[in-house]
Amino acid sequence: MNMSSVKKIGLFACTGVVAGNMMGSGIALLPANLASIGGIAIWGWVISIIGAMSLAYVYARLATKNPQQGGPIAYAGEISPAFGFQTGVLYYHANWIGNLAIGITAVSYLSTFFPALNNPIPAGIACIAIVWLFTFINMLGGAWVSRLTTIGLFLVLIPVVLTAVAGWHWFDIATYHANWNTSTTTDSHAIVKSILLCLWAFVGVESAAVSTGMVKNPKRTVPLATMLGTALAG
């Protein structure tokens, strides 16, 4: 398909894609996992934000100087076609594996309302259906994906903002200190473990760069969307 004939997305939609891709499953998976480590996980989150913003800045600068369709795949290909191929293969596998994780997470949460999904066969069918549903939406084009991702972002932000504002009513500093490190390891190991978990929430920082071919004015939109989306997710 000629990219000039594709309906392109602007800054708002592109920012929604970046932030939505990062916040989607991260919001659902991280709280329970980080709770097992304790309050010290806040340092892992801070370090992960710094790393994600640094990577976002790299993509932003590359998009400003030399915007290319394919983002990291194209940039790796500038060094060597072999590196470009390797990056493309790894990126492809990372995406479909990540999509399966998201589908499994979705089914896990849906099983609360539909107990039948606790059985392996219905759960597997539901997971496959979810993956194919979003695959079909992707086939409709970038405009549809950006709309869906932006809507999902707002739906995710509602409980996040409510928790951030109203949650202080139940905050107890004594409980926080008592559960500072519940991982039964040293503080440094607990922080490293929390960083590895937090990095999952920032998978998607490359979304705008990868979508360069379907973005309006990529030299301006891609760097802004990358930085704004990453900051919003953080």
The pLDDT mean for the chain works out to 85
Q: Which of 25-34, 47-56, 79-88, 110-119 has the lowest mean pLDDT?
A: 25-34
* pTM for the full predicted model: 0.79
Please, what is the Cα angle at 216 between 139 and 21, to 5 degrees?
50
CATH superfamily ID and name for 7-233:
Amino acid/polyamine transporter I (1.20.1740.10)
Domain locations in the chain as residue ranges: 7-233
Residues 6+ positions from 138 with CB-CB distance below 8 Å: 145
In the 8-state DSSP scheme, what is residue 67? Answer: -
Q: Is the pLDDT of residue 5 over 70?
A: no
The tens digit of pLDDT for each residue in 195-212 reads: 988 887 888 888 888 888
CA atoms within 13 Å, Cβ hemisphere of 173: 0
Please indicate whether residue 20 or residue 131 has the higher confidence score (pLDDT): 131
